[in-house]
């Protein structure tokens, strides 16, 4: 089976810090994979807020929906660790973009690399919509086909 590999961009415009909570631990007493996915979600919301972009607009009922996720685990994190998540938008295309995450602990030890594929979605019609120009401009990336 081929292993997942997450390519890291050259630069990350934002780093957020999120502590590992006791409820984030699994039976191995380290950060669980389900908890890491929730931490990535929190970091993504902070990243979009930093970019002045909503994940969901209740007035228009439009927003983003996650199409896929890839996580490459590199090390363990434990209760009391403070995760430093570096985030960047990559691979803009007609309907969305990827968010790449580089996760380290407070000592700089790599914990994970991840990518979430985000698509623009209209919750009224339940269909994809084109990437709004303000997202394209905010990320400063040229969309691909």
Q: Which residue, among 89, 94, 112, has the nearest Cα to 18 in the 3D structure?
A: 112
| Right CATH for 14-139 from 3.90.1300.10, 3.10.129.10, 1.20.120.80, 3.40.50.720 | 3.10.129.10
**pLDDT, tens digit, for every residue of 54-98?**
899 999 999 999 999 999 999 999 999 999 999 999 999 999 999
- Measure the CA–CA gap between 56 and 123, rounded to whole angstroms: 9
CB-based contact 32:26 (threshold 8 Å) = yes
**pLDDT, tens digit, for every residue of 3-45?**
999 999 999 999 999 999 999 999 999 999 999 999 999 999 9
> DSSP letter string over 47-82?
HHHHTT--SEETTTTEEEEEEEEEEEE-S---TT-E
In the chain, domain spans: 14-139
**pLDDT, tens digit, for every residue of 77-86?**
999 999 999 9
């Amino acid at each position: 089976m081929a292993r997942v590999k997450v390519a890291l961009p050259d630069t990350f415009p934002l780093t957020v810090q999120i502590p590992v909570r006791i409820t984030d631990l699994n039976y191995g007493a380290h950060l669980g994979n389900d908890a890491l996915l929730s931490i990535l979600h929190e970091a993504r919301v902070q990243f979009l807020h930093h970019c002045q972009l909503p994940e969901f607009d209740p007035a228009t009922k439009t927003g983003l929906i996650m199409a896929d996720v890839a996580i490459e685990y590199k090390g363990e994190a434990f209760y009391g660790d403070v995760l430093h998540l570096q985030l960047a938008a990559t691979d803009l295309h007609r309907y969305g973009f990827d968010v790449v995450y580089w996760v380290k602990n407070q000592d700089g030890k790599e914990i994970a690399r991840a990518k979430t594929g985000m698509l623009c979605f209209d919750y009224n019609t339940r269909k994809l919509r084109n990437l709004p120009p303000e997202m394209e401009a905010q990320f400063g990336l040229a969309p691909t086909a």
